[in-house]
Structures are given as C-alpha cells and as structure tokens.
Amino acid sequence: MKLVTAVIKPFKLDDVKAALEVLGIQGLTVSEVQGFGRQRGHTEVYRGAEYTVDLVPKVRIDVLVDDFDADKVVDAVVEAARTGKIGDGKVWVTGVDTLVRVRTGERDADAV
C-alpha cells in the first residue's frame, strides 16, 4: 500500500476531490496546514505596528491507495491542483506496511 500526501492551495480541494473520484478513489483525509516557501505571505497593521505573516494557508490531503494506483493518483492530483502560480504545493508518496479498516478489520487492498 502507498500513502499519497498532497499539500495544495485550499480552493483547489474540490477539483482534486473530483479528479480522485474519477479514478474511483473512495475516501481521503483532509487537514488544514500552513505552508512556508517561495510564495510570500502578507502584512497586517494594528495601531501602526506591522506584522509580517509569512505562512500561507494550505490544505493537506492524505490518500491511501494500492501500490499500482499510486502513480495515477499522483498525476491526477498534480494536474487538478495546478494553477501554474507559485505556491501550488507538493505531492509525495510514502510506503505503507499495513492498512486496516477499523470497522471491519479488513486489511490492505480491502481496507481502502
């Protein structure tokens, strides 16, 4: 099993979900994160005091997939999440030893 993780721009979440559903991906887990990188943050001012906010809101998506699905999923996510502008984010794949579906105890491929 593989775990495909993507850190993308928040407003791209729907497109990515749509793309994954096309691939027949049944589920995924989303979390709010903040990214630091080439994309610049913004500045806030309160009573004349400036605050530089250099973290940018991003969405993290974790998708557990069969080994042979991994590449397809990566490509689909990259495609769906791309705007071409700085800050589009990253997608990476890590190996998973075992996967269990809590409800049934099914393992690996059956657990996705």
Partner 1 sequence: MSHLLLAADSVKLDSGNTAWMLTSAALVLLMTPGLAFFYGGMVRSKSVLNMLMMNFICIAVVGVLWVIYGFSLAFGNPHLGGLIGGSHQLFGLGNPDVLGGFWSSAGVPILVFAMFQLMFAIITPALISGAVADRTKFWGWTLFVALWLTVVYLPVANWVFGTGWILNKLNAEDFAGGTAVHTNAGAAGLALAIVLGKRVGWRKDPMKPHNVPFVLLGASLLWFGWYGFNAGSEGAADNIAGLAFTTTTVATCAGVLGWLLVEQLRDGKPTTVGAASGAVAGLVAITPACAFVSPLGAIAIGLIAGALCAMAVGLKYRFGFDDSLDVVGVHLVGGVTGTVLIGFFGFDHGYATPGGLQRGLFYGGGLDLLEKQVVAAVSVMLYSFILTFVIGTALKRLGVFRVSEEAEVSGIDEAEHAETAYSFSTVLSGGLSGQASGAGAGASPTTREKVDA
Ligand X SMILES: Nc1ncnc2c1ncn2[C@@H]1O[C@H](COP(=O)(O)OP(=O)(O)O)[C@@H](O)[C@H]1O
Cα atoms in the 13 Å half-sphere on the side-chain side of 41? 14
Interacting residue with a second copy among 36, 44, 51, 53 (CB under 8 A): 36
Segment 49-108, which members bind ligand X (CB under 6 A)? 56, 58, 62-64, 86-90, 101, 103
Is residue 27 near partner 1 by the rule CB under 8 A?
no
- State whether residue 97 is helix, strand or coil: coil
Is there binding between residue 90 and a second copy (CB under 8 A)? Answer: yes
Question: Which token pair is 51?
Answer: 């605050």
**Contact region for partner 1 (CB under 8 A) — 45-53, 66-74, 75-83, 101-109?**
45-53
Please, are residues 99 and 110 in contact by the beta-carbon 8 Å criterion? no
Tokens of 71: 């590449």
Give the sign of the dihedral formed by CA 34, CA 28, CA 14, CA 18. Answer: positive
State yes or no: residue 92 binds a second copy (CB under 8 A).
Answer: yes
Binding site for partner 1 (CB under 8 A): 10-14, 17, 30, 32, 34, 36, 41-55, 57, 59
